Amino acid sequence: MNQHSAAARILIIDDEESILDGCRQALEKSGYSVITTSVGQEGIRLARENKPEVAFVDLKMPGCSGMDIIDLLSKDLPDIVLIVITGYASIVSAVEAMKKGAYDYLPKPFTPDQIRAVTKRGLEHRSLKIEADRLRAEKEYMEKNFITFVSHEMRSPLVTIQQYIETLKVIAGDSLGKDVYDIIDRCDKRIQNLQDLVEHWLDLSRIENGTFSETKEPLNMVNILEKSMEEMGPLCQRRKLDLRADLKNDLPRIMGDQESLMRVFSNIIGNATKYTPPGGIISIGTDYDDYYLYVSISDTGSGIPQDKLPFIFEPFYRVKGKEERQRGSGLGLTFSKKIMEAHEGKIEVTSKEGEGTTFILKFPRLYEL
């Protein structure tokens, strides 16, 4: 939109009809659309209705304070440029008006050239201010969403590479030897890991942005755990692990975000599948007391050495075992901890090497009448 368009609307509020006439003639000559009134209240109504770019306000009018009009309009219409018309004697009050949001003042008497110059300057000021506001808002938006933007830019090529790999399997799958096929499969898995990393990174940035807490609602934990088990069941089956649960059916509800809690459980169960040898057991239990609801997830896996336990929630920390290094995004537990904090809860871990690991998640219970 061109702010200098000839049809810029100028409102003039002054009790002297001769001033109104003079201003109208001077400004209409320059192509502005001019609205005038000699009554303060009427001026406020006209300003609200017509949203003029510039308004001239006489400070001294009978029965009405120009200062109040300035005050009101500057709050009401943030983009309006207010200019005070004032006698020489009242420069002090003109300064006062400028403190209240007026942009400039025009001392009486003035020539047509003077009012045109002040109007032009006011319109330029307005354009600059609008542009500056827009840039500031854009900058803030970019800063706030930087990680999100970067992640999306990263996700897009990853998706395309995955699609190419998928295509490669389809068009050349039969003619490839098993070893070549294995290499392609490994590429696919590594890209999937990278994509998980991007997803988790996005998740973390969302928590830090605070967009997360708005989605909380009363939740039934058993439902969520059952859904998580359904989701993770096939993976456990493939790894020959027994995923079992002992869920109390009289659990109090909690306030939470279902989707992110399911991600937390998937993360922890997923970790358990990585570190538990075939034939092992992953068991889920629930409990509650007067203050908290507890969810425990235990495995019969290799366990985590005591001296490593304090670090497992750090980003990109990995416990190196004897077996081939287990790969994940490196952010799964960091994310889980943040999510638990966002639920005013806690995640704790105990482990014994060679016997297994137990994660305990504590949620404040919801008190319902």
Phi, psi of 239 (to 5 degrees): -90, 10
β-partners of residue 349 are 359
CA distance 273 to 227: 17
Q: Measured from the CB of residue 273, what is the shortest distance to another protein in angstroms?
A: 22
- What is the pattern of x (binds another protein, CB under 8 A) and - over residues 27-66? ----------------------------------------
* Sole binder of another protein in the list 166, 182, 185, 348 (CB under 8 A): 166
Q: Measured from the CB of residue 173, what is the shortest distance to another protein in angstroms?
A: 9
Phi, psi of 10 (to 5 degrees): -120, 125
Q: Check if the beta carbon of residue 121 is closer than 8 Å to that of residue 104.
A: yes
Half-sphere exposure of 317 (CA within 13 A, CB side): 13
Residue 162 is a binding residue for another protein (CB under 8 A) = yes
* Sole binder of another protein in the list 169, 227, 337, 346 (CB under 8 A): 169
DSSP helix, strand, coil percent of the chain (3-state; round to 5)? 55, 20, 25
Residue 25 is a binding residue for another protein (CB under 8 A) = no
Cβ contacts of residue 9 below 8 Å, gap of 6+? 32, 33, 34, 35, 50, 51, 52, 53, 54
Range in contact with another protein (rule: CB under 8 A) among 56-64, 162-170, 222-230, 323-331: 162-170
Residue 234 is a binding residue for another protein (CB under 8 A) = no
Residue 155 is a binding residue for another protein (CB under 8 A) = yes
Residue 171 is a binding residue for another protein (CB under 8 A) = yes
Residue 211 is a binding residue for another protein (CB under 8 A) = yes
* Sole binder of another protein in the list 5, 114, 163, 237 (CB under 8 A): 163
- What is the pattern of x (binds another protein, CB under 8 A) and - over residues 132-151? -------------x--xx-x
* Sole binder of another protein in the list 41, 65, 111, 167 (CB under 8 A): 167
What does the buried/exposed string (b/e) look like for 288-321 if buried means 16 or more CB atoms within 10 Å of the residue's CB? beeebbbbbbbbbbbbbeeeebeebbeeeeebee
Helix (H) or strand (E) run with residue 73 in it: helix 66-76
Q: Give the rounded distance of the alpha carbon of 22 from its chain centre.
A: 52
Site residues for another protein per CB under 8 A: 145, 148-149, 151-152, 155-156, 159-160, 162-164, 166-167, 169-171, 202, 206, 211
